[in-house]
Every structure is written in C-alpha cells, then in structure tokens.
C-alpha cells in the first residue's frame, strides 16, 4: 500500500481471526469430491493478487515484508506474511493447495483461461466493499463487489459455452461461492457518517441482497458467507496503540451480522435450492482477543499489536521493507495494522470449515455446505 495507514483512514480489512479450543491446525482435510469448483469474492483478506494487476491501485501487498513466510518468501499480493484466508479455507475443503487464481491473472493468460476457470476463480480485491464506491476515494481503483459479480458473469458464459448449457449450469449449481466483504464499508461510514447507523445497516444489507440474488440468477446455490469481524480491535483502530477496541465499528459489525443472517434465512426460504453457511467472525475473534489463554491451541502471545509496521503518533505505519518486523510471527494475531498472520488464518479456517458451534458458524459449517 502506498499510503500510510492511520486511524483517520479506513482500513483494508481486519480479518476475523477465529480460534477456539476444540479445533486445531491439524484438522483432517476433506477428501477431494467430484463436485463443482470454488469461486471467491471479497476484499483484502481474500485477495491473492488481484490488486497487483490494477493500474492506479494503492492497496497493494506486492512488496516485502508481505509473503515472508510464503513459499520462496514471495510477495504475491496477499495481505499476509504467508497464506491468507482464501488459501486456508479451500485447502481444508479439499482439492486445493492454494486459492484459485485471480480473475485478472486468468484474463491476462487467455491460453489457459477456460481450463483454469473450471478449477475456480478468485475475484477478491483489497479495499473493495459492498457499495460500488467503497475504497476508491482512499485506494484508487479497486474491484467492487458489483464488478466482481460482473466478472463472474463472464466466467459463467465461458463455462456454459465450453460444457454446454445443461452441464455448465449443473457444475455451477454444485460449486461453492465464498464471500468475505463489508468491513471497508463500515470503516468508510465511521469516517463520514452520511446517515444514521440503523439506516446504514439497512442499506448495506439491501446491497448485499442484490449481489447475492445476481449470483443466484447466474447459477450460484451454495453461499459461504464470512461476516464482518470486530474491526475496531485491529491494531490500527486502537488509538492510542495498544488501547481498548473502538466501539463504533464493532457495534456496526455486530448489527450487520444479525441483519445479514436474517437476510440469508429469508433467501433460503424463498429461493429454490439456496443454501448457506454464515461464519460469525465477530464472536470468533472476540473469543480469542478477550480470553486468549482459554484456548490452549492458539499460542498467541500478542493479540493487540502488529507484527510488521512501526508505531507512530497516528498508529501503525505501513508494513514494508525496513519497518519493524517481529521475529516470531506465530506469536501474533495480527500481521500488519489490519490483517491476520498466516497462523491466525489457518486457525480461523479450521473454525469456519469444521466447527459445530452455532455461535461461530450456522446453520451448518462450510464443510457441510460444500458437500450438501
């Protein structure tokens, strides 16, 4: 990212880092199934290189120390020291070593486009939101959720053209659609307050409904929704650094989860074949932030600070070569001022994919949804 992160500017996204005692990083991998691919939508917690390919985009992670623990210590555009949430979830769902490739990368390599889209596509863009304008004023060009759905429409057209309408539709209906988005919308609201909090939640939910219905109309049936975490607890939102979580974004995150869950219940009862799983990342994250010693498998020693980035009078500066870098990344919940470490993403994925606790994921987990 070219701009310094500060509490006065919206954040890309804090990840919902989920850890609870019954799950460990050694959870059994789901066997590969003869079912559809996985399509991923969202923001920086899911971006695996989209923003690298966008001109005039300031929300970038294509430089050290990003990727320091990725194979070959490569900065791939993931906002992590290694793998991110998209990678860790699809690994556990089975059939993937890493997230499907970014849509823009596949477009740039048209010779492999048709073959690769049958393995899934990642549309996520760091800084993006549910509203079309979210992120653009602060980060320049990013791919909004509306634009990501339009990209999926192009992918759908290529799949049905290649397989035929019937086989293509069957593949898409058996595929899984994972969405993690909304935090950037909240952070921009916190900085602008264009309406009441109640109206903001209603508007954001209505916007989410439009995107979900558009995906449904293009063949999507299995929706894995990762809701908004307590973004007021990320290092950059704590002012001064290390202080208490910020209440306003956290309250909005809780309200949005309740509203999104109600929307999904309604859609599942009114749209034929609509199935969903929603991960309550607010509860997941707070369970470890408020009581880190309760979960013996977490091993985090610091749940407030950023592993990478310098403390400034405004908060946490950008994570880049020459900035402070912690020695033991697995001790930290947060990689930079906003995003989780690779270890945190892996533990979160275990919760999202395998948990049976309705306080963390409901009405079924992602593994059950994948095999539904």
Q: How far apart are CA 67 and CA 72, in angstroms?
A: 8
In DSSP terms, 362 is beta-bridged to: 278
**pLDDT band, residue 25 (cuts 50/70/90):** very low
Q: How far apart are CA 157 and CA 229, in angstroms?
A: 34
Find where tokens 């609870």 sit. 20
Predicted local confidence at residue 9, as pLDDT: 41
**Catalytic hit among 6, 44, 183, 243:** 44
- In the structure encoding, which two tokens stand for residue 207, read together? 């916007």
In a domain, 20, yes or no: no
Torsion of CA 37, 43, 46, 49, to 10 degrees: 90
Q: Lowest-confidence range among 5-9, 222-226, 281-285, 304-308?
A: 5-9
Predicted local confidence at residue 76, as pLDDT: 98
In a domain, 318, yes or no: yes
pTM summary value: 0.91
Q: Is the pLDDT of residue 308 over 80?
A: yes
Find where tokens 């057209």 sit. 157
Q: Is the pLDDT of residue 48 over 70?
A: yes
Q: Lowest-confidence range among 12-26, 199-213, 309-323?
A: 12-26
Of 214, 227, 230, 243, nearest in space to 315 by CA: 243
In a domain, 31, yes or no: no
Predicted local confidence at residue 17, as pLDDT: 39
In a domain, 25, yes or no: no
Mean pLDDT value of segment 33-44: 87
- The tally of domains found in the chain comes to 1
In a domain, 64, yes or no: yes
Predicted local confidence at residue 292, as pLDDT: 72
Q: Are 297 and 23 in contact (CB under 8 A)?
A: yes
In a domain, 313, yes or no: yes
Cis before 85 (ω within 30): no
Please report how the helices 247-270 and 281-290 are oriented relative to each other, as an axis angle in degrees rounded to 10: 150
Q: Are 76 and 49 in contact (CB under 8 A)?
A: yes
Q: Are 128 and 134 in contact (CB under 8 A)?
A: yes
The answer to whether 277 is a known catalytic residue is no
Find where tokens 């059994």 sit. 28
Quote the domain boundaries for residue 236. 38-370
Q: How far apart are CA 238 and CA 111, in angstroms?
A: 47
Which tens digits make up the pLDDT trace of 84-126? 999 999 999 999 999 999 999 999 988 889 889 999 999 999 9
Which tens digits make up the pLDDT trace of 219-269? 999 999 999 999 999 999 998 888 999 999 999 999 999 999 999 999 999
CATH (domain of 113):
3.40.50.1110
Mean pLDDT value of segment 299-313: 88
Q: Is the pLDDT of residue 313 over 80?
A: no
Predicted local confidence at residue 20, as pLDDT: 38
In a domain, 19, yes or no: no
Q: What percent of the chain has pLDDT over 90?
A: 81
Of 250, 263, 148, 267, nearest in space to 202 by CA: 263
Mean pLDDT value of segment 278-302: 82
In a domain, 23, yes or no: no
Which tens digits make up the pLDDT trace of 57-66? 999 999 999 9
Predicted local confidence at residue 3, as pLDDT: 33
**pLDDT band, residue 312 (cuts 50/70/90):** confident
Q: Are 312 and 295 in contact (CB under 8 A)?
A: no
**Torsion sign, CA atoms 322, 56, 51, 76:** negative
């Amino acid at each position: 990212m070219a701009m310094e992160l500060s509490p006065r500017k919206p954040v890309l996204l804090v990840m919902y880092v989920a850890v609870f005692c019954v799950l460990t990083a050694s959870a059994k991998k789901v066997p590969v199934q003869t079912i559809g691919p996985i399509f991923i939508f969202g923001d920086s917690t899911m971006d695996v290189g989209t923003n690298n390919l966008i001109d005039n985009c300031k929300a970038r992670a294509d430089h050290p120390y990003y990727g320091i623990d990725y194979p070959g210590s490569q900065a791939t555009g993931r906002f992590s020291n290694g793998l991110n949430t998209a990678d860790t979830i699809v690994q556990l769902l089975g059939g993937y070593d890493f997230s499907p490739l970014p849509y823009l990368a596949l477009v740039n390599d048209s010779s492999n486009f048709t073959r690769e889209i049958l393995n899934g596509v990642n549309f996520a863009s760091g800084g993006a939101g549910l509203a079309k304008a979210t992120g653009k004023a602060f980060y320049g060009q990013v791919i909004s959720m509306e634009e990501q759905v339009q990209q999926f429409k192009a992918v759908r057209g290529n799949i049905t053209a290649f397989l035929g309408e019937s086989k293509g539709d069957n593949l898409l209906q058996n595929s899984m659609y994972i969405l993690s988005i909304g935090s950037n919308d909240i952070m921009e609201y916190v900085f602008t307050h264009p309406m009441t909090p109640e109206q903001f939640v209603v508007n954001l939910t209505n916007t989410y409904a439009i995107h979900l219905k558009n995906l449904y109309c293009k063949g999507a049936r299995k929706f894995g929704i990762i809701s908004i975490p307590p973004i007021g607890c990320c290092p950059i939102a704590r002012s001064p650094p290390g202080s208490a979580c910020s209440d306003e974004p956290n309250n909005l995150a809780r309200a949005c989860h309740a509203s999104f869950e109600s929307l999904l219940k309604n859609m599942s009862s009114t749209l034929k074949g609509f199935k969903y799983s929603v991960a309550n990342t607010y509860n997941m994250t707070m369970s470890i932030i408020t009581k880190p010693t309760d979960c013996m498998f977490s091993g985090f020693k610091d749940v407030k600070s950023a592993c990478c980035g310098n403390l400034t009078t405004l908060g946490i500066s950008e994570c880049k070569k020459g900035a402070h870098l912690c020695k033991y990344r697995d001790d930290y919940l947060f990689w930079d001022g906003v995003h989780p470490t690779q270890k945190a993403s892996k533990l979160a994925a275990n919760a999202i994919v395998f948990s049976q606790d309705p306080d963390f994921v409901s009405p079924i987990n992602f593994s059950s949804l994948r095999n539904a």
